[in-house]
């Protein structure tokens, strides 16, 4: 057994090609990442071959499936994304948001989410 305080795990900036706004990532294990978004920061459109689960740790945010309206979420919520669904997720305009992302396989990154798409 090993114990790793989350505060001791190294954080790195998320790549600008896949995120809009300041975002920090901490790899927890293979397939599990803690991601912290500043207000208004978000992922690009993307999809996962085996789906994704988001465990919302703090703050509030938005998630949107391509072709549908964005949904809001808050700390304590769980968001599940089906395999192959094009989607994005990020912080609400007025909140820092942190989640743990669980997924398997290689993420396919698509286009950036525009300000108009984010605003809904």
Q: How many helices (DSSP H) and strands (DSSP E) are in the chain?
A: 1, 13
**In the block, residue with structure tokens 């978004």:** 37
Q: How many whole angstroms from its chain centre is CA 63?
A: 8
Asked if the structure places residue 2 within a domain, the reply is no
Total number of domains in the chain? 1
Taking the chain, what is the end-to-end CA distance rounded to the nearest angstrom?
Answer: 45
* CATH number of the domain residue 63 falls in: 2.60.120.10
CA distances 27 to 9, 36, 68, 99, 103, Å, are 8, 12, 30, 12, 12
Asked if the structure places residue 119 within a domain, the reply is no
pLDDT cut 90: percent of the chain above it: 88
Asked if the structure places residue 31 within a domain, the reply is yes
| Burial of 113 from C-beta contacts in 10 A (0-12 / 13-18 / 19+) | buried
What does the pLDDT average to over 66-84? 97
Q: What is the pTM of this model?
A: 0.93
What is the pLDDT confidence band of residue 3, given thresholds at 50, 70 and 90?
A: confident
pLDDT of residue 5: 82
Q: Domain span at residue 35?
A: 18-106
């Amino acid at each position: 057994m090993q114990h790793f305080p989350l505060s001791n795990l190294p954080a790195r900036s998320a790549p600008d090609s896949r995120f809009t706004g300041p975002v920090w990532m901490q790899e927890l294990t293979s397939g599990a990442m803690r991601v912290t978004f500043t207000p208004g920061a978000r992922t690009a459109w993307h999809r996962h071959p085996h789906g994704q689960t988001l465990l919302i740790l703090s703050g509030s945010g938005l998630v949107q499936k391509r072709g549908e309206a964005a949904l809001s979420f808050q700390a304590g919520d769980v968001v599940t994304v089906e395999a192959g669904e094009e989607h994005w997720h990020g912080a609400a305009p007025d909140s820092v948001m942190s989640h743990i992302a669980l997924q398997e396989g290689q993420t396919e990154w698509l286009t950036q989410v525009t300000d108009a798409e984010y605003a809904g």
